[in-house]
């Protein structure tokens, strides 16, 4: 698709000519420094906007190059498509010769999605895109129809979560080639699975980021937790904004990726009249209309601010969905009773009920952890715009020992968490391995080459956990053992996997569970001492009563409404290794329903 945003990087044109373009507005000279197959220095021409460009006849894929700045400073391409030797090595020219076979694929809307978050390096023993591809049939059988892949932009070393990436256009070299990523996306579409890619536009990693040698990529107007802020609104920011919008369009158009999850958009500091995310959403919507394929943008936001996912004609930025941590936090407190750190803001079942009803727990009240009032209600936004989870890479990996729920809680509590997630009106996201009860940790790991940086990262992790009362030693992020411990074990499937599969199928078929509008759910707000959360959901002529016993003891719910109830699901049945049901199959008004500890029940309302 033609776009107003200037192309940067390198590509091979239809006639075999190589095109190279880089933004370096204050350099006196820039040359293309060809490293292989035949070394050469080729001067580039500068335009009035500060872009340097040159064409090279008979260019071939695999050609490696750097840019020579002012005749003395040699640097890789900031828009490199591939870094075969890592973040400090030369860039490589990539051809576009992949043969797609997903012509009939049109994408999915958020309300249709069951998302599954994946870290490429630890998902399988292959540690690459081929490993993910090998599990697509498994994921389809589970009921997953969207995978969300943690960042794959080139980062230093071989082991990283991906948020230290420094070449946003380059597929990480140990995960596979650009064509191998395209093969994964192509195959996923054959299986009816959308692909969402996690991208990082709020900062660049601390090792191998040579961007400031080219121009004013950073601004000192703001700070981020990870270092210098990207220049989205200061002098010369037009080229920086264009770079990141071109990056998003590349993934969505050239790689056929269906959506992007933007990391920590609250750290994309921009006081422009049109916020960067609004401009990005406009460009993505234009691409979606041009291609006839649904393309979505998901924001990770630490602010309970619906502006990011509100349409521009209503004063918003027009992104399509957002991660909501508070559903997780409230449920985690209910199940684990932890109250350290940010968990101090959540008071158990009342917070969880509010997360169900309002999506945000904090909608303007005072937050003890933040020491201020926080959030606003997300009025008139359907539930499917909010992605919820019981586990994800942050909430597991940012625990000191990376321990998952399956390692912390009994089987029945894990089943309750799954039911809470998959029966909620929000868009659900699973974290890889939770569906079968993976007990291996997901730890924080890096493989920086800079010794001082490595020490700083290790010390930083120790300092992060001072607000928590977790016992034990902090695993060293730089240790290969830390990474190896995090690779999924893939044991023989047990009843928990079938339990997840059943709930996912139920969610996809019951009209009440498919309805994500706010006027079709009724949450009974708990009173002090209550341990049961009761929710009614409706869709067309389908009405369901959902009951969740959040305690480790049996609990009684009194049905006091003039409707008959027919039981459709009970998590305590023996086929899922439950203790056996105590709730009746048919319930009339005035009947007491006894729920087993940590159990979930669905009744059809007649």
Question: Are 121 and 50 within one domain?
Answer: no
Active-site annotation holds for 102: no
- Residue among 164, 300, 412, 476 flagged as catalytic: 300
Q: How many CB atoms lie within 10 A of CB 531?
A: 20
Give the model's pLDDT for residue 462.
74
Strands 386-388 and 427-431: parallel
Question: Are 314 and 407 within one domain?
Answer: yes
Question: Are 443 and 541 within one domain?
Answer: no
DSSP string computed for 461-482: HHHHGGGS---SPPPPTT-HHH
Whole-angstrom distance, CA of residue 359 vs CA of residue 378: 8
Residue 248 placed within a domain: yes
Q: 245, 249, 263: which is closest to 148 by C-alpha?
A: 263
End-of-domain residue from the set 92, 107, 128: 92
With beta carbons less than 8 A apart as the criterion, state whether 32 and 56 touch. Answer: yes
Report the DSSP beta bridge partners of residue 153.
171
Residue 485: both structure tokens together: 């411990």
Overall size of the chain counted in residues: 606
Question: Are 81 and 150 within one domain?
Answer: no
pLDDT band at 467 (very low <50, low <70, confident <90, very high): low
Strands 227-230 and 167-171: unpaired
Residue 232 placed within a domain: no
Widest Cα–Cα separation across the chain: 86
Question: Are 576 and 598 within one domain?
Answer: yes
Q: Is 414 annotated as a binding residue?
A: no
Whole-angstrom distance, CA of residue 489 vs CA of residue 498: 18
Give the model's pLDDT for residue 464.
72
Question: Are 80 and 185 within one domain?
Answer: no
Q: Is 563 annotated as a binding residue?
A: no
Give the model's pLDDT for residue 482.
96
Q: How many CB atoms lie within 10 A of CB 591?
A: 15
pLDDT in tens, 435-465: 999 999 999 999 999 888 888 888 877 777 7
pLDDT above 70 as % of the chain: 99
Residue 594, phi then psi, degrees to nearest 5: -95, 125
Q: Is 394 annotated as a binding residue?
A: yes
The mean pLDDT value for 360-364 works out to 98
Question: Are 418 and 524 within one domain?
Answer: no
Q: 165, 323, 194, 324: which is closest to 259 by C-alpha?
A: 194
pLDDT above 90 as % of the chain: 93
The mean pLDDT value for 520-526 works out to 96
Residue 292 placed within a domain: yes
492: exposed, middle or buried (C-beta count within 10 Å: 0-12, 13-18, 19+)?
exposed
Query: Residue 407, SS3?
Result: helix
Question: Are 80 and 129 within one domain?
Answer: no
Question: Are 167 and 271 within one domain?
Answer: yes
pLDDT at 493 over 70: yes
Q: How many CB atoms lie within 10 A of CB 318?
A: 22
CATH code, domain carrying 502: 3.20.20.80
Identify the domain containing residue 43 by its residue range. 9-92
Across the chain, what does the average pLDDT equal?
96
Whole-angstrom distance, CA of residue 602 vs CA of residue 597: 15
Give the model's pLDDT for residue 150.
98
Residue 319, phi then psi, degrees to nearest 5: -70, 165
Q: Is 189 annotated as a binding residue?
A: no
Q: Is 128 annotated as a binding residue?
A: no
Q: Is 327 annotated as a binding residue?
A: yes
Active-site annotation holds for 263: yes
The mean pLDDT value for 154-165 works out to 96
Q: Is 396 annotated as a binding residue?
A: yes
Q: Is 45 annotated as a binding residue?
A: no
Whole-angstrom distance, CA of residue 397 vs CA of residue 161: 10
pLDDT in tens, 532-543: 999 999 999 999
The mean pLDDT value for 578-582 works out to 98
With beta carbons less than 8 A apart as the criterion, state whether 318 and 278 touch. Answer: yes
Residue 441 placed within a domain: yes
Q: In 3-state terms, the chain is what percent helix, strand and coil (to 5)?
A: 30, 25, 45
Q: Measure Cα distances from 526 to 371, 531, 587 in Å.
A: 26, 8, 22
What are the residues whose beta carbons fall under 8 Å from the beta carbon of 377, sequence distance 6 or more? 306, 358, 360, 363, 364
Residue 300, phi then psi, degrees to nearest 5: -90, 125
Residue 563 placed within a domain: yes
Q: 356, 355, 488: which is closest to 434 by C-alpha?
A: 488
Query: Residue 364, SS3?
Result: coil
Question: Are 189 and 290 within one domain?
Answer: yes
Residue 544: both structure tokens together: 């369901």
User: Running DSSP on this structure, what letter comes out for residue 290?
Assistant: H
CA-based torsion, 83, 85, 91, 95: positive or negative: negative
- Residue among 117, 233, 263, 434 flagged as catalytic: 263
First and final CA of the chain: distance in angstroms?
52
Beta strands in 254-360 (DSSP E): 259-262, 296-300, 321-323
Q: For the chain, how many structural domains are there in total? A: 3
Give the model's pLDDT for residue 3.
79
Question: Are 387 and 486 within one domain?
Answer: yes
The mean pLDDT value for 70-80 works out to 98
Residue 42, phi then psi, degrees to nearest 5: -125, 115
CATH code, domain carrying 560: 2.60.40.1180
Q: Which helix (H) or strand (E) holds 185?
A: helix 178-190
Buried b (16+ CB within 10 A) or exposed e, 220-253: eebeeebebbbbbbbebbebbbbbbbbbbbbbbb
CATH code, domain carrying 27: 2.60.40.10
Q: Is 328 annotated as a binding residue?
A: yes
Residue 217 placed within a domain: no
Residue 468 placed within a domain: no
Whole-angstrom distance, CA of residue 145 vs CA of residue 139: 8
Question: Are 543 and 498 within one domain?
Answer: no
Residue 362 placed within a domain: no
């Amino acid at each position: 698709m033609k776009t107003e945003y200037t192309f940067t990087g390198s590509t091979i044109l239809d006639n075999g000519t190589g095109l190279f373009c880089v933004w370096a507005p204050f350099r006196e000279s820039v040359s293309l420094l060809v490293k292989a197959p035949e070394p050469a220095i080729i001067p580039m021409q500068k335009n009035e906007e500060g872009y340097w460009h040159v064409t090279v006849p008979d260019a071939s894929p695999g050609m490696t190059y750097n840019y020579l700045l002012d005749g003395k400073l040699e640097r890789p391409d900031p828009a490199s498509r591939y870094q075969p030797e890592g973040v400090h090595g030369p860039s490589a020219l990539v051809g576009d010769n992949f043969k797609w076979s997903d012509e009939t694929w049109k994408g999915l809307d958020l309300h249709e999605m069951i998302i599954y978050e994946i870290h490429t390096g630890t998902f399988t023993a292959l540690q690459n895109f081929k490993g993910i591809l090998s599990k697509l049939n498994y994921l389809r059988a589970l009921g997953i129809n969207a995978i969300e892949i943690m960042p794959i932009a080139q980062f230093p070393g071989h082991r990283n979560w991906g948020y230290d990436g420094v070449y946003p256009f380059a597929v990480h070299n140990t995960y596979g080639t650009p064509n191998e990523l395209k093969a994964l996306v192509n195959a996923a579409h054959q299986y009816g699975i959308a692909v969402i890619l996690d991208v990082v536009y709020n900062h660049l990693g601390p090792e191998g980021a040579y961007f400031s040698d080219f121009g004013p990529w950073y601004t000192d107007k703001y700070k981020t937790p990870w270092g210098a802020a990207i220049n989205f609104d200061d002098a010369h920011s037009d080229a920086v904004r264009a770079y990141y919008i071109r990056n998003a369009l590349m993934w969505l158009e050239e790689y056929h990726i269906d959506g992007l999850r933007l990391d920590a958009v609250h750290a994309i500091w921009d006081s422009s009249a049109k916020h960067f995310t609004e401009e990005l959403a406009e460009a993505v919507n234009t691409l979606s209309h041009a291609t006839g394929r649904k393309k979505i943008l998901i924001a990770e936001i630490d602010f309970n601010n619906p502006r990011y996912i509100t349409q521009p004609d209503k004063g918003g930025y027009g992104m399509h969905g957002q991660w909501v941590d508070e559903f997780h936090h409230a449920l985690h407190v209910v199940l684990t009773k932890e109250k350290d750190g940010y968990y101090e803001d959540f008071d158990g079942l009342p917070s969880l009920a509010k997360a169900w009803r309002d999506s945000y727990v904090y909608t303007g009240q005072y937050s003890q952890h933040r020491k201020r009032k926080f959030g606003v209600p997300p009025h008139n936004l359907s539930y499917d715009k909010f992605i919820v989870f019981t586990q994800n890479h942050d909430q597991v990996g940012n625990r000191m020992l990376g321990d998952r729920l399956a390692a912390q809680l009994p089987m029945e509590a894990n089943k309750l968490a799954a039911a809470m997630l998959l029966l909620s009106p929000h868009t659900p996201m699973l974290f890889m391995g939770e569906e079968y009860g993976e007990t291996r940790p997901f730890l924080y790991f890096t493989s920086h080459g800079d010794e001082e940086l490595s020490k700083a990262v290790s010390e930083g992790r120790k300092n992060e956990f001072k607000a928590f009362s977790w016992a034990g030693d902090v695993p060293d992020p730089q240790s290969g053992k830390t990474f190896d411990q995090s690779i999924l074990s893939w044991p023989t499937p047990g009843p928990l996997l079938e339990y997840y599969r059943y709930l996912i199928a139920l969610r996809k078929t019951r009209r009440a569970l498919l309805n994500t509008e706010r006027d079709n759910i009724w949450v009974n707000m708990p009173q002090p001492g209550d341990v049961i959360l009761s929710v009614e959901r409706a869709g067309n002529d389908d009405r369901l009563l959902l009951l969740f016993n959040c305690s480790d003891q049996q609990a009684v719910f009194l049905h006091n409404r003039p409707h008959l109830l027919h039981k459709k699901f009970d998590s305590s049945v023996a086929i899922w290794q439950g203790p056996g049901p105590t709730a009746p199959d048919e319930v009339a008004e005035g009947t007491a329903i006894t729920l087993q500890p940590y159990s979930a029940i669905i009744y059809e309302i007649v």
